Amino acid sequence: TVQEHAPNPAAGDPGRPIGFGRLQRKEDPRFVRGKGHYLDDIVLPGMLHGAILRAPVAHARLVSIDTTEALAHPGVLAVITGKDLQALNLAWAPTLSADVQAVLVTDKVRFQGQEVAFVVAEDRYAARDALELIDVEYDMFPPVIDARRALDPGAPVIRDDIEGRTDNRIFDWEIGDAAETEAVFANADVVVAQEVVYPRVHPAPMETCGAVADFDPVDGRLTLYETTQAPHAHRTLYAIVAGIPEHKIRIVSPDIGGGFGNKVGIYPGYILAVVGSIVTGKPVKWVEDRSENLMSTSFARDYIMQGEIAATKEGKILAVRTNVLADHGAFNATAQPTKNPAGFFSIFTGSYDLKAAYCKVTGVYTNKAPGGVAYACSFRVTEAVYLVERMVDILARKLEMDPAELRLKNFIKPEQFPYANKTGWVYDSGNYEPAMRLSMQMAGYEDLRREQLEKRERGELMGIGVSFFTETVGAGPRKHFDIVGLGMADGAELRVHPTGKAVVRISVQSQGQGHETTFAQIVAEELGIPPESIDVVHGDTDQTPFGLGTYGSRSTPVSGGAVALVARKVRDKARFIAAAMLETRPEDLEWEKGRWFVKGDPSAGKTIAEIAFGAHGTVALPEGIDGNLDAEVTYDPPNLTFPFGAYICVVDVDAGTGHVKVRRFIAVDDCGTRINPMIIEGQVHGGLTDGVGMALMEIIAFDEEGNCLSGSFMDYLIPTAMEVPDWETGFTVTPSPHHPIGAKGIGESATVGSPPAIVNAIVDALTPYGVTHMDMPCTPARVWEAMQGRARPP
Ligand code: CDP
């Protein structure tokens, strides 16, 4: 099953490689030379600078704000408060989850780091200095920090701005058949239960968030440069929120220094930059610093999951069940499709053929930063995979079975695809056993287990962790998935210029994933022109077609499909033009990569470049065929794609200090047709590194007063090359049956699949200490405590 190029049966083309394989990234020459053009590189004539005053406390009534001194500070042009925004009806903005969020505090501070006032000044220093001159009086309330206490009777009501609100409950959502699941559990030989916590973490992109707003009062046009993963959706939302007509708004998303879900939402800072520009009549730049990013922008996870799994004593898994408490912070600003308040968490049934499944998720408000974004994952797939893969390991321990064998015994079989699971998903395709066996073979699984036994006898702590995941990526279809009413589909436009050079315009937004390369490769494959002759344009709403943007590994499944289809549309059109040029009928022509030729006379043909010239030339074109070689499509995928992978992690734990070393990590991924194996490997390496971070060191923690304890990279640790091993990657290829080129997403597979493999390995290493579970992050102190039988929740 291992092969360098995938066949492309979906395109009726078995055995032909897709794309140009390991093409070097077209965007890298500018990145490696330091010539990328990021938000902070944008400098407009007369540009001013904004800075945000943030609340030092987590829960307090705003008594008064005095801005007199700040306004008098040299260089300051404006100080904007919540009251000013109220007058413009802009004090509150809709979130991506049918809630509202304060742009600037008007009534009450609801988390530490919340936006209180905005200073606009001639330079960044003056703006920041003036923040210290704003005098704010707060009347303190007790904060709600522990989500477990949020629904206690008498808990302070955080969202008293919402009429009639008497508690902190956001939603209760359930899926699956509770009664059927209960019946399976009641009759099962074995049931194991475990509380599994996925702590609050942060996407922490290298580049923080920022905006440059340029409002032209003469023609009422707003140009907004923004760090955004979804420029088109943002434009529509700004039109709705600010009342600026949509055709007068241009969003430009320049090079993005990492998004990972952090740059999906609309932050108060973006809106404030716009207000600042309207108020001063000049362009205004606002760029947050690292602490602002960590303390106030969208966090991820924060799920407390009560997991249960039922099985026969022979190890046939029958059902999974879970009750989840989801901490959404002070505003429900989580980014997920409207009908999915817990995102795609219902994929917690994993890769197993089950009789029943049921889950209930309760979302609550707490006095913490709002968000709940999918940090490098498709809408809560990470939490789901972590839960089920921990539960399967706990079951394996209970049954005294090998965790890899237990998984192999329970996989959905290849002939069961498309597989309808018990929570409403239809897995498009899969072939799990070969991936699992390949990872075991690459790892030398049997030898590792032998080595572990020997080491245990010597008192050394070595652990082997397995995880197997299935993801749900590539939302739409739009009939099922929308964000604030916008259906999840993506557009593509392709123009082939007279000389055969092409420009493809896409609605998704690269944040480092290499779209300029891979999308050119798709067009190149479909039209037979070299990828270097194809430019990929993205990140500017004036230049690209509408679409919902890049997150949840949806670019290739959705936009990649759009690009393949638009190229095929051009190819179909080219046939008519070629026929006119060759003075024959279109049905007499045959396609070979790059040219149409006369059936039975291969010498009589026209290449795409010749046809493009012909389209713009003097040949009389058939009726209904325009004089160009351009096309556009919007692709609404019929289903999501379901990539999967088998991961094996080997750790050594220092029995004296609790320090965990990830010694080896084997990752076998299946993302269907592989466009660019080099880019795929890069995506996997990055995601695995993310996984090490979450498993071992990352947590956004708070003290009892709601002070964020993780506001810098001194406290919020992220992994470097020092903490990770040389990744060992492999792959199988199971194309998506419905995707135009058979491709599934890959961008986030490794972030999703790696944390359970690492934690499973650590728990496995700690078996001699009787440890059956521990929560992330597995820092040395926490591992050591677990060894003493004192595991504590994060
Ligand atoms: O949405 P996002 O770009 O983050 O994720 P993705 O669609 O999984 O793609 C990540 C990168 O891997 C892009 O450059 C893709 O085109 C590339 N890729 C690939 O070469 N082959 C695949 N089957 C999937 C993705």
- Summarised one tens digit per residue, pLDDT across range 338-348 is 999 999 999 99
Find the 26 Cα to ligand 1 centroid distance in Å. Answer: 15
* Ligand 1 atom, smallest distance to 560 CA: 16
Find the 231 Cα to ligand 1 centroid distance in Å. Answer: 19
Closest Cα to atom 22, ligand 1: which residue?
674
* pLDDT attached to residue 21: 85
302: its two tokens: 């924060």
**CA R_g for the chain:** 27
Ramachandran sector of residue 310 (left: φ over 0; alpha: ψ -120 to 50; beta: rest): beta
* pLDDT, average across residues 622-647: 97
Q: Average pLDDT, whole number, for the chain?
A: 95
Residue 448, ligand 1, Cβ within 6 A: no
For the chain, give the percent of residues with pLDDT over 70: 97
* Ligand 1 atom, smallest distance to 556 CA: 7
pTM: predicted TM-score of the whole model, two decimal places: 0.96
Extended beta strands in 202-260, E state? 210-216, 221-226, 249-252
Find the 105 Cα to ligand 1 centroid distance in Å. Answer: 40
What pLDDT digit, counting tens, does each position of 656-696 carry?
A: 999 999 999 999 999 999 999 999 999 999 999 999 999 99
Q: Cα separation of 230 and 270, whole Å?
A: 14
In degrees, rounded to 5, the angle at the alpha carbon of residue 679 between the alpha carbons of residues 299 and 636 is 70
Residue 680, ligand 1, Cβ within 6 A: yes
Find the 12 Cα to ligand 1 centroid distance in Å. Answer: 22
Confidence of residue 793 (pLDDT cuts 50, 70, 90): low
Q: Cα separation of 205 and 710, whole Å?
A: 15
Residue 387, ligand 1, Cβ within 6 A: no
Tell which one of 20, 513, 641 to mutate to probe ligand 1, the residue whose CB is within 8 A of the most ligand atoms. Answer: 513
* pLDDT attached to residue 549: 93
What is the DSSP secondary structure assignment for residue 104, as one 8-state letter? S
* pLDDT attached to residue 242: 86
Closest Cα to atom 12, ligand 1: which residue?
680
* pLDDT attached to residue 6: 42
Cβ pair 710, 693 in contact under 8 A: no
434: its two tokens: 């070969």
What pLDDT digit, counting tens, does each position of 165-221 carry?
A: 999 999 999 999 999 999 999 999 999 999 999 999 999 999 999 999 999 999 999
* pLDDT attached to residue 12: 40
Residue 554, ligand 1, Cβ within 6 A: yes
* pLDDT attached to residue 372: 87
Residue 561, ligand 1, Cβ within 6 A: no
Three-class secondary structure of residue 307 per DSSP: strand
Residue 676, ligand 1, Cβ within 6 A: yes
Residue linked to tokens 């073979």: 441
Find the 510 Cα to ligand 1 centroid distance in Å. Answer: 10
Find the 33 Cα to ligand 1 centroid distance in Å. Answer: 24
Find the 464 Cα to ligand 1 centroid distance in Å. Answer: 29
Separation of first and last alpha carbons in the chain: 41
Residue 513, ligand 1, Cβ within 6 A: yes
Residue 26, ligand 1, Cβ within 6 A: no
Residue 377, ligand 1, Cβ within 6 A: no
Residue 679, ligand 1, Cβ within 6 A: yes
The pLDDT of residue 14 is above 80? no
* Ligand 1 atom, smallest distance to 514 CA: 14
557 cis-preceded (ω within 30 degrees of 0): no
Residue 558, ligand 1, Cβ within 6 A: no
The pLDDT of residue 1 is above 80? no
Long-range contacts of 766-769 (CB under 8 A, 24+ apart): 766/461, 766/463, 766/653, 767/397, 767/456, 767/463, 768/456, 768/461
Per-residue burial over 100-120, b if 16 or more Cβ lie within 10 Å, else e, is bbbbbbbebbbbbbbbbbbbb
Find the 644 Cα to ligand 1 centroid distance in Å. Answer: 14
Q: Cα separation of 604 and 434, whole Å?
A: 46
Tell which one of 373, 555, 678, 738 to mutate to probe ligand 1, the residue whose CB is within 8 A of the most ligand atoms. Answer: 555
* Ligand 1 atom, smallest distance to 550 CA: 1
* Ligand 1 atom, smallest distance to 522 CA: 16
Residue 581, ligand 1, Cβ within 6 A: no
465's enclosing H/E stretch is strand 461-470
* pLDDT attached to residue 241: 85
CA-CA distances (angstroms) from residue 306 to 384, 742, 754?
Answer: 12, 37, 21
Long-range contacts of 402-409 (CB under 8 A, 24+ apart): 402/449, 403/465, 403/466, 403/760, 403/764, 404/436, 404/440, 404/445, 404/466, 404/648, 405/315, 406/315, 406/317, 407/351, 407/352, 407/436, 407/466, 407/468, 408/433, 408/436, 408/437, 409/315, 409/316
Q: At a CB cut-off of 8 Å and minimum separation 6, what does 527 contact?
A: 496, 502, 567, 570, 571, 594, 608
Find the 546 Cα to ligand 1 centroid distance in Å. Answer: 20
Q: Cα separation of 733 and 670, whole Å?
A: 5
* pLDDT, average across residues 78-86: 97
For the chain, give the percent of residues with pLDDT over 90: 94
Could you give the ipTM of this predicted complex? 0.98
Neighbours of 722 (CB within 10 A): 5
Residue 559, ligand 1, Cβ within 6 A: no
* Ligand 1 atom, smallest distance to 749 CA: 8
* pLDDT attached to residue 18: 52
What pLDDT digit, counting tens, does each position of 211-262 carry?
A: 999 999 999 999 999 999 999 999 999 998 888 999 999 999 999 999 999 9
Residue 133, ligand 1, Cβ within 6 A: no
Residue 743, ligand 1, Cβ within 6 A: yes
Find the 653 Cα to ligand 1 centroid distance in Å. Answer: 35
Residue 421, ligand 1, Cβ within 6 A: no
Find the 500 Cα to ligand 1 centroid distance in Å. Answer: 26
Find the 301 Cα to ligand 1 centroid distance in Å. Answer: 23
Find the 201 Cα to ligand 1 centroid distance in Å. Answer: 24
Tell which one of 518, 536, 669, 751 to mutate to probe ligand 1, the residue whose CB is within 8 A of the most ligand atoms. Answer: 518
Closest Cα to atom 19, ligand 1: which residue?
675
Tell which one of 22, 511, 523, 679 to mutate to probe ligand 1, the residue whose CB is within 8 A of the most ligand atoms. Answer: 679
Strands 728-731 and 660-670, sheet pairing: parallel
Residue 378, ligand 1, Cβ within 6 A: no
What pLDDT digit, counting tens, does each position of 463-508 carry?
A: 999 999 999 999 999 999 999 899 999 999 999 999 999 999 999 9
* Ligand 1 atom, smallest distance to 519 CA: 16
Would you give the distance in Å from CA 478 to the centre of its chain?
A: 18
Find the 680 Cα to ligand 1 centroid distance in Å. Answer: 7
Residue 675, ligand 1, Cβ within 6 A: yes
Residue 550, ligand 1, Cβ within 6 A: yes
* pLDDT attached to residue 13: 41
CA-wise closest residue to 168 among 180, 178, 154: 154
Find the 557 Cα to ligand 1 centroid distance in Å. Answer: 8
Tell which one of 24, 534, 681, 683 to mutate to probe ligand 1, the residue whose CB is within 8 A of the most ligand atoms. Answer: 683
Residue 228, ligand 1, Cβ within 6 A: no
Tell which one of 490, 534, 746 to mutate to probe ligand 1, the residue whose CB is within 8 A of the most ligand atoms. Answer: 746
Cβ pair 470, 768 in contact under 8 A: no
The pLDDT of residue 434 is above 70? yes
* Ligand 1 atom, smallest distance to 680 CA: 12
